[in-house]
Amino acid sequence: MAFVVSGSGLLKRDTLAGLCLRRKECGVGVHGVPIVMKAYTVDVTTSDGEVHKLNVEEDMTLLEAMEEAGLNVDSSCRAGVCMTCAAKVLSGDVDQESAALADEAKEQGYILTCSAFPRSNLKIEMNAFDEAYEMQYGKYELKKEADSGLLGKIFKS
C-alpha cells in the first residue's frame, strides 16, 4: 500500500487520485502534493439583470462553471462556433484560443463561454447572441430588402 504526504497528513495514493479527480486538480507535484488550479471570481450578469458571483478554476470553461452553479444558460455546439453562448466581457481577461470568433467580435469584448477560460477576475454580461452573431456572420447574409433580384421578389411574396 502506497502513502503520500500532503498538507492534510498521510493519504493512500488511491485516495489522492480520487481527490484530484473530484477537485479538478491537475496532478501530483513534488513529494506527492496535489497541484491546485488557480481560481478567479467571475461576476455574471444574466438576462434578468441579476448578478451571480462564481468561483471558476482556470481549467474550467465559463459555460461549465455557470451550469455547475445552476444558472440557466443558452448553449448549443459547445465547440466555440454557433454563438449561442455568447457573452460580453465588461472587465478582465479570458483565454478563448479555440473559439472560432471573428477578430472584430473579440476586439469588441465578445466571447463564447463554451470555449473561454478565465485568466483573471471577470465581469461578463450574458445573452449577447444577437450582437455577436451580427459581427460574426451578419456581413455574409443577404438582406431581403437589399435584394431586388428575382430571388428577392420571390421571397417577398
Give the C-alpha separation, 28 to 6, whole Å: 10
Which percentage of the chain shows pLDDT scores above 90?
Answer: 44
- Over residues 22-74, the pLDDT tens digits come to 444 455 566 666 666 799 999 999 989 999 999 999 999 999 999 999 999 99
The pLDDT value given to residue 95: 94
Nearest one of 135, 121, 150 to 44, comparing CA atoms = 121
Higher per-residue pLDDT: 3 or 45: 45
Average pLDDT over residues 95-102: 88
Residue 127 CB: number of other CB atoms within 10 A? 16
> Does residue 30 contact residue 4 with C-beta atoms inside 8 Å?
no
pLDDT digits (tens, 9 = 90+) for 5-29: 444 444 444 444 444 444 444 555 6
Q: Is the pTM of this model over 0.85?
A: no
